[in-house]
Amino acid sequence: MNTQAVKVIYKYEMLRAWETILQSFASPVISTILYFVVFGSAIGGRIENIEGVTYGAFIVPGLMMLALLTQSVSNASFGIYFPRFTGTMYEVLSAPISFVEIILGYVGAAASKSFLIGLIILATAGFFVDLRIAHPIWMLSFLILTCISFSLLGFIIGLWAKSFEQLQLIPLLVITPLVFLGGSFYTIDMLPPAWQTVSLFNPVVYLVSGFRWSFYEVSDVSIEISLVMVLLFAAACLAIVWWMFKTGYRLKQ
Amino acid sequence: MNTVISIANLSKIYSSGHRALNEVSLDIHAGEILALLGPNGAGKTTLISIICGIVNASEGSVKIDGRNIIDDYRITRSKVGLVPQELTLSMFVSVWDTVCFSRGLFGKKPNQEYLEKLLKDLSLWDKKDNDILTLSGGMKRRVLIAKALSHEPEILFLDEPTAGVDVELRKDMWDLVEKLRQSGVTIILTTHYIEEAEEIADRVGVINNGQLLIIDDKDALKHKLGTRQMTIDLEQAIEQIPQSLSAWSLELISEGCQLIYTYDSHSKHTGIAELLRAIDQAGLLLKDVNTSQSSLEDIFISLVKNSL
């Protein structure tokens, strides 16, 4: 195991986040605060409690997921796309590093950044709403799993993209709509029956549901199903990355 | 001589269908300086990229110190350093940080003493805290070399190392290459500056259209493929070569003032004596005579032309 290589890649990526601290950390926190002000206070005050939870508190897990998913994808995709774009990727490819070590470095750093953002948003939410976390271990587990699996997805996008436009395409056109339609701001049983069925095809539903359960023991699907879905998603992403490195897809071709 | 890199039937066909390498086989000896000459697009960079693990080969194999570069990539890659052709550097990090990063990628912990010496040797020590962005093109090229040498490789690939650099830096690089060779590093450089190959290489290979046309010792190559030319200056210009001299391969140049005779210097019978007698009999007066050996450049041009 080339731990030194993992360490330098991880450190380099974390330093990059530190040097662009406003963009990396302040921006998602400010966006989340705005959501709380608009949905939690302004509109949320006029919405009834959902299964005994105030609307402001109810949307906390969904908002965290929204930030985590978009940040994980954008951090990881940019982290690997930029060296491809500038040509510095040659150095990583010519070094004695396995694909697992490359993932540990790049995806580990992207997931760490998202994890920190998640914790910061959680702390920020505490200023606006009464928070209670029924199952802290589950909450942390979901947080970590989400950061890792969506950082893996971002890594795939960063390897696949041929331009900055393509890099933005999936986060904008796929991730954001999936999060908004994945029960971040409502429970899916508030939807008409047909749309409830459609929602079950949205993987984000399982993430938000499981995450929300760890806070308030309120969920759309059972916690076990949520966990299995997240693990399956992570495994699928890992398999795709493995295939990309094995074939050299858009890296060594 | 020990073979440090062994390349067998290496081919590369890109997804566009372009065949960049066509069954290249080549052995590189430990401690030598090998120059790969070839025009742009000949396949030099593709060959280096495959050996370094940056590009997948379509067919064939590469072994470093007897180990396959795919199966034993950890060991083989740790022996190799690469200076790429383009100035591909992260612009917002310092010289010191980028060199430490490169060393770390190869699994080595920072070694203050070695890296300090390396940067001093490359005249980069006083720039160690500067961001790459602030450096000149020549300095960036030196940083690339420092990065390639940061993990103390046994084999160094220099892909067009002096493309676009000034004379002073080119000379510095040649000195550095010589120093590295003396320390036992095997050096493979690609270039299209023939004088560079002529100056520093032990062996020269010529690549064109993805094929290795020839590879040999630099002097042997000149000996084997080189021709000699005799330039005969005439006292008075002539309009055409006299019929009596048609048995020799002559060329009339300089508005009829010079005759060029091309001959094989290794032949037992060069025909020079007979030619000079025939010129005298034809009534032509000689002003001067000199001979020259064809350069590596002439050989290169002739090989590339013939391969088209």
- Mean pLDDT lowest for which of B82-91, B98-107, B144-153? B82-91
Please state the rounded mean pLDDT for residues B74-97: 90
Give the gap in angstroms from C-alpha A93 to the nearest C-alpha of chain B: 5
Please state the rounded mean pLDDT for residues B270-298: 81
CA distance B137 to A196: 60
CB-nearest partner of A93 from B14, B54, B109: B54
- Taking CA–CA distances from B81, the nearest residue in chain A reads A94
- Taking CA–CA distances from A97, the nearest residue in chain B reads B74
pLDDT value of position A220: 80
Mean pLDDT by 10 residues, chain A (253 residues): 92 85 78 79 72 80 88 90 88 91 93 91 84 89 92 92 87 84 81 83 87 86 88 92 85 69
Cβ–Cβ contact A7 with B under 8 A: yes
**Which residues of B fall within a CB distance of 8 Å from A93?**
52-54
pLDDT band at B266 (very low <50, low <70, confident <90, very high): low
pLDDT value of position B306: 65
Examine the pLDDT at B296 and tell me if it is beyond 70: no
CA distance B203 to B33: 7
Which of the given ranges, A162-171, B43-52, B215-224, has the highest pLDDT on average? Answer: B43-52
Is residue B44 classed exposed, middle or buried when 0-12, 13-18 and 19+ CB atoms within 10 A define those classes? buried
CB A184 within 8 A of CB A208: yes
pLDDT value of position B148: 93
CB-nearest partner of B105 from A95, A247, A253: A95
- Mean pLDDT lowest for which of A120-129, B74-83, B99-108, B288-297? B288-297
pTM given for the model:
0.79
**Which amino acid, residue A118?**
G
**Cβ–Cβ below 8 Å for B73 and A96:** yes
**Cβ–Cβ below 8 Å for A90 and B82:** yes
pLDDT value of position A97: 92
Which string of b and e fits A91-115 if b means at least 16 CB within 10 Å?
bbbbbbbeeebbbbbbbbbbbbbbb
pLDDT value of position B222: 66
Nearest C-alpha neighbor of A190 from the set A55, A63, A56: A55
Chains A and B form CB pairs within 8 A to the count of 74
Give the gap in angstroms from C-alpha A78 to the nearest C-alpha of chain B: 14
Q: What secondary structure does DSSP assign to A198-250, as a single string?
A: HHTT-HHHHHHHHHHHHHHS--SS-HHHHHHHHHHHHHHHHHHHHHHHHHTTT
For residue B241, count other CB atoms closer than 10 A to its CB: 16
For residue range B182-209, list pLDDT tens digits in order.
989 999 998 877 777 778 888 988 888 8
**Bridge partners of B81?**
B156
pLDDT value of position B297: 64
Please state the rounded mean pLDDT for residues B53-58: 90
Give the gap in angstroms from C-alpha A86 to the nearest C-alpha of chain B: 6
pLDDT value of position A183: 82
pLDDT value of position B195: 72
pLDDT value of position B209: 85
Best interface-test mutation with B: which of A8, A78, A247 has the largest number of B CBs within 10 A? A8
At which residue do the structure tokens 């039937």 appear? B9
Examine the pLDDT at B150 and tell me if it is beyond 60: yes
- Return mean pLDDT, chain B: 86
- Taking CA–CA distances from B76, the nearest residue in chain A reads A96
**Cβ–Cβ below 8 Å for A95 and B73:** no
pLDDT value of position B293: 66
CB A160 within 8 A of CB A245: no
Q: Quick one: tokens of B240?
A: 């055409």
pLDDT value of position A53: 78
Give the contacts of A198 (CB within 8 A, at least 6 positions apart).
none
- Greater pLDDT, B165 or B59: B59
pLDDT band at B223 (very low <50, low <70, confident <90, very high): low
Please state the rounded mean pLDDT for residues B79-86: 91
